[in-house]
Amino acid sequence: MELDFGSAAGASGSGASGDLAAGAEVIRKFWRTLPGSPGVYRMIDANGEVLYVGKARNLKNRVANYTRGVGHGGARTARMIAATATMEFVTTRTETEALLLEANLIKQLRPRYNVLLRDDKSFPYILLTRDHRAPQIVKHRGARTRPGDYYGPFANAGAVTRTLDALERAFLLRSCSDSYFENRTRPCLLFQIKRCSGPCTNEIPQQEYDALVEEARAFLSGRSTMVRERMARDMQAASDNLEFEKAARYRDRLAALSAIQSSQEVNPRSVEEADVFGLAEQAGQFCIQAFFFRNGQNWGNVAYFPRADRSTSPGEVLEAFIAQFYDDRPCPRLILTSIEPDERALLAEALSAKTGRAVELATPRRGEKRDLADHAARNAHEALSRRLAETASQQQLMEALAAAFGLPRPPRRIEVYDNSHIMGTNAVGGMIVAGVGGFAKTHYRTFNMRSEDLKPGDDYGMMKEMLRRRFARLMKEEPRQQIANRPEAAETPLPDDAFPHAGAPVDPDDDVEAQGDAAMPAWPDLVLVDGGRGQYEAAKQVFAELGVAGVALVAIAKGMDREAGRETFFMEGRPPFRLPPRDPALYFVQRLRDEAHRFAIGAHRTRRKKDLVRSPLDEIPGVGPARKRALLLHFGTAKAVAAASLDDLARTPGVNAATARTVYAFFHDGAG
């Protein structure tokens, strides 16, 4: 893509006042010098934050729409223009290139006025490798750099795991790592339970293992009928030859293949490879349900809730969603939608250019394809209804929590802190976040305790370090006017914008969305710490040191015998208290605390596991993976490397004299 970067200089600060006429004048200054070519424009506020990214077939004509100052079709666009302080432009050769660039910039910059794809994590695939004499079949997520065949996407890790289990039983391919494979002297448990053919110890001839690999590739590539028929013939032939044990193995493999195909809820006969998107709209919110069909099989579905203004049309939402969805994912040959996205032809052309082959984007009217699109739309409607119901009940819990703790408004962001360690080792702190949309897992954070002054097992010190790091950074990156959110503040009149949306219906034209992670403010309204008075005093001390105000602080002490329902709460201005046993707010707090506990323990276990497999060789500067592997292959263990003489190290294949001296000096206090 050949790009010509337009100038972004010239105007600044004019839109910061929020005045529509001033913002339109800023845009007009740029419009006068714009070319009439395709491109992408960015509208930016006085703080340098990108407000909106848009594409245009003709930049001059498109930007002219923002210069009128009237008739913009909604408060959203008017607010966007009023906040614009400067603009940036990129010209492209074609409108197709502009569409692809727009999707890429939206995903990178996440402007508040664009339709945003949330929960944008990579999908898992099945990888059948090609870089080893005994190919391995594994679950894969991320960049596809390893040589092999990738099959997917699957909607979630559970779908991949179930399919892999069945594929191992059906084709007896190994799933172990290459290093594990190379060091086996006898077959592992998977061979004993008939989920691997044992190529590591030559339990199966290489030629026969290669045949199993080709059968697996054929099955995963859509030739499942051929594979099943061949396997059925082999089973019958073994039975006719009275080789009943061999026939039983074929029978079990056929049963595994049947399990794979029968587990798919919808297996279309006329669609071999396609992604199907169904859209639902309700109460100004959108849900898009994506189904993945590969090799005539349904490989799962996942629901997305894109952030979009209520005034955005469903077709525009779907167009923006699909463009962002395939920005960094492989695209199938066929995409089916329940409604027609805006600029369908342009979108199909852009996806075809990106993938290097024809991509069909269709909204079917009849037949099996229409049934698939309708099925996706029904699932989207049901998912959105469930989400709205959960959000309503969550808002009620927030109101109950505000009443229980005497907060002036229901909190929009709650942060809960806990730490985990064993006798002070591998100490990790965890922060979980919850809001009106439930747990906001993209906002979770872990804190590896690294203070040199911290004594092992000092829970109070860990809490201080965690909160100090969190709020010092928050005050630096997101400074704000502190607003008292303590019980006594309830009697003090607060400015109207102190707690936007709290306890009140959401304005349809408001910038901030009511549900989901995207609506989550940077600052918490309520901080919960797991512990008693000691943890509360430690947290209170950190808040006082940093000057943190406007954040309610509550500590949760477990009841006698750690009995749930008898928790004691500590907070400013109140003696220690308990909540009634059947209070919904108490159950909600217990859920929050348990989630923080689960998250902190999980982070601790992950760190402990890494330490268990860490080798002393990892700490030697200048010794990379290749030389470390050479040393281990030559000496067997890191302990043997540490005990080796300098001459022995220098004779190691793949290790030069300088590296040998470095390794020897590391284990012998700098000698050598």
Residue 287 belongs to domain with CATH number: 3.30.420.10
Final residue of a structural domain among 77, 109, 141: 109
Report how far residue 524's alpha carbon sits from residue 540's, in angstroms, rounded to the nearest whole number. 15
- 396 assigned to some structural domain: no
| pLDDT at 432 > cutoff 90 | yes
- Looking at the fold, whether 203 and 289 belong to one and the same domain comes out as no
- 521 assigned to some structural domain: yes
Average pLDDT over residues 293-315: 82
- pLDDT, position 613: 54
Yes or no: say if 303 and 289 are a contact pair by the CB < 8 Å rule: yes
- Looking at the fold, whether 130 and 203 belong to one and the same domain comes out as yes
- Looking at the fold, whether 603 and 622 belong to one and the same domain comes out as no
- 626 assigned to some structural domain: yes
- 80 assigned to some structural domain: yes
- 75 assigned to some structural domain: yes
What is the total count of domains within the chain?
A: 5
Name 398's Cβ contacts closer than 8 Å, sequence gap at least 6. 410, 411, 412, 436
- pLDDT, position 551: 92
DSSP string, 268-280: -SS-SSEEEEEEE
- Looking at the fold, whether 218 and 316 belong to one and the same domain comes out as no
CATH number, position 569 = 3.30.420.340
- 392 assigned to some structural domain: no
- Looking at the fold, whether 587 and 507 belong to one and the same domain comes out as yes
Share of the chain above pLDDT 90, in %: 14
Domain span at residue 568 reads: 406-610
In whole numbers, what is the pLDDT of the chain averaged over residues?
79
- pLDDT, position 510: 33
- Looking at the fold, whether 181 and 230 belong to one and the same domain comes out as yes
CATH number, position 638 = 1.10.150.20
- Looking at the fold, whether 460 and 574 belong to one and the same domain comes out as yes
Average pLDDT over residues 134-145: 86
User: Confidence band (pLDDT; 50, 70, 90) for 490?
Assistant: very low
Average pLDDT over residues 402-419: 91
Final residue of a structural domain among 582, 610, 638: 610
The 10s digit of each residue's pLDDT in 362-398 is 999 988 889 899 989 998 988 888 888 777 778 888 8
Yes or no: say if 154 and 161 are a contact pair by the CB < 8 Å rule: no
Strand duo 334-337 + 360-362: pairing: parallel
The 10s digit of each residue's pLDDT in 450-489 is 766 667 767 888 888 889 999 998 888 887 644 433 333 3
| pLDDT at 158 > cutoff 50 | yes
| pLDDT at 670 > cutoff 80 | no
- Looking at the fold, whether 577 and 446 belong to one and the same domain comes out as yes
Residue type, 649: L
- Looking at the fold, whether 507 and 641 belong to one and the same domain comes out as no
| pLDDT at 536 > cutoff 60 | yes
Yes or no: say if 336 and 276 are a contact pair by the CB < 8 Å rule: yes
Average pLDDT over residues 57-74: 77
- 572 assigned to some structural domain: yes
- Looking at the fold, whether 162 and 252 belong to one and the same domain comes out as yes
Report how far residue 599's alpha carbon sits from residue 431's, in angstroms, rounded to the nearest whole number. 8
- Looking at the fold, whether 446 and 573 belong to one and the same domain comes out as yes
Final residue of a structural domain among 386, 417, 451: 386
- pLDDT, position 74: 63
- Looking at the fold, whether 499 and 485 belong to one and the same domain comes out as yes
- 349 assigned to some structural domain: yes
| pLDDT at 50 > cutoff 80 | yes
Average pLDDT over residues 523-541: 91
